[in-house]
Amino acid sequence: GMATNIPPHNLGEVVDAACCMIDNPDATLDELMEHLKGPDFPTGG
């Protein structure tokens, strides 16, 4: 495996958040968090 300090995220959620930023460059953090729920830890943490 690989060790990293960057939490893993669901790729689909990252793409949805990126599309949101493209469609609405002035999107707020709350609007982005509707798409990007949080880290997807392999251990379920």
2 falls within a domain: no
pLDDT bucket at 35, cuts 50 / 70 / 90:
very high
Report the distance separating Cα 38 and Cα 41, nearest Å.
9
Share of the chain above pLDDT 90, in %: 49
Domain count, the chain: 1
Domain assignment of residue 1, yes or no? no
Domain range enclosing 13: 9-35
Residues 6+ apart with CB under 8 A from 22: none
DSSP for the chain, written as a single string: ----SSPP--HHHHHHHHHHHHH-TT--HHHHHTT------TT--
Global pTM exceeds 0.85: no
Examine the pLDDT at 45 and tell me if it is beyond 70: no
Residue pLDDT, tens place only, 5-27 = 777 788 899 999 999 999 999 99
